[in-house]
Amino acid sequence: MSLRSSVQPVGASSEPKGEDATAMQRQSWTPTALRRYTLLSMVLLSATIILAIGALYIVSRLRDGICNAQPNDHYLWTYAPTALFTIVAALWSPVDYRALQMQPWRAMAEGREDVSQTVLLDYVSPWNVKVLYKAIKRRQVIVAAAICVSLILQALIVLSTGLITLNDIERSQSGMTLAAKDRFLLEGSGFDPNQLMAKRISSTLVGAFGQVKGAELSELSAFACFPFAQKVMTTVNFALPAMQIQRPPVVEEDTAGTFNVACLQAVGDPMDALMRQALTDVPSTSDVFDPFVGLLVLGSRGRPAQELSGDANQYRLLDIMNHFYGISVAQLLNTHRIPAASSEQPALEGQLTEPGRYRLVQSAITTHVLVCLLGAILVLTVTTTYIMKTKTVLPKNPCSIAAVASLLVDSKILDMISSVSQRRSDTELLAPFGGYLFSMGWWAGAEGEVSRRRFGIDVGTADNLR
């Protein structure tokens, strides 16, 4: 073909046979991305990131967070890890590209291979997942490892957004001793437990509820009550320094016991006055209801009298009576307190909590996932570094037209390509190469000259592979 005579052997080697290996070592070319120091740098970077993530996680666990932060700075801790892994992915991209680009050259330098894995192999253009499948199927470890690292880095970029979150951390100190400054007065005001329990039968309240129309009674419900009160321990949250209750107290049911405030008659006039005070905003109620009934009908949870009258409404009446009795007695007991002496002050256990500190906390789940993925990158990179040998593959950079043409000088491949090959599809182009094996190495010179040898690609097995 005319191509053979017109192409000059740019960069072609013409070394004596005994100096083939020495010449190849002297002229060898290795991409910067695939050199050993580059791969070792990626190994060191992966190990450093693993150690940094682990150290930050330990600090986060021991200190209830890494450091203090404010909610308006959320972009910083959300996307800082993402930026880091984006940079790592950018550094690995040339390694991935060169590993795929060098595969056909590596295949020809290692031995005879068919056309689909040598001169017509393209791993750069297709989707990397498809290339990964082919590489695994063909046991091409370097290509598979490079693509796996790229895919893992893409996953790390997404997952890293959840590595650090902002939490409202409460610092608590338990074992605080609290003292009650006053106590309930159980003596001298009808609150003596022994007397009240002895009078339990005589303290029974008998009452009736119904409607009066003239001289007629209707919808009448009679009841007998045995009122009592209980004391119980509760867990209460106070806000310092005003000691305001932050949330409803939590009752500890197993500490409940009778408080011995036996009945409404025992508290006498103070109960009546208390309920009358609750009705001061409602005019003329004393002419219609007594104080307690006034609360049942006109209180915050009161119901109209007709909804509380009769047998059908007796359970509703009892529910409202119990509700207002509990509120009334609790308020009455609050008025019967006296300062407690030092010997009478019960020791209460408390817990001091400091809320409102925003801390950057490292997620345990995300941390473990990232460390596992980075560990996989570390293993794959070490594997690639160990088996990567490119010093004796090519004598020059194959990215220029002249360099590729120099490897085809005097090659039989030129006889297989027709002058219209550029118009053929990939399937049609494959046909002339069917059944042939290709390799790259040292070949005899033109017309069988042994004294002058060339380095390039040809059909068959080269005399000196790598």
What is the amino acid identity at position 132? L
CB 305 within 8 A of CB 297: yes
* pLDDT score of 175: 67
pLDDT digits (tens, 9 = 90+) for 76-118: 888 999 999 999 999 999 999 999 988 888 888 877 677 778 7
* pLDDT score of 368: 95
- For the four alpha carbons of 282, 285, 290 and 293, in that order, the dihedral sign comes to negative
- CA-based nearest residue to 460, from 112, 12, 144: 112
* pLDDT score of 2: 36
**Domains of the chain, residue spans:** 1-28+397-466, 30-180+353-393, 182-345
Instruction: Give every residue of the chain whose pLDDT is below 50, as ranges.
Output: 1-18, 20-26, 187-203, 261-266, 284-286, 420, 466
* pLDDT score of 87: 95
CB 361 within 8 A of CB 167: yes
Q: Please, what is the Cα angle at 200 between 198 and 204, to 5 degrees?
A: 150
* pLDDT score of 85: 95
- CA-based nearest residue to 327, from 298, 292, 303, 297: 292
Q: Which pTM value belongs to this model?
A: 0.57
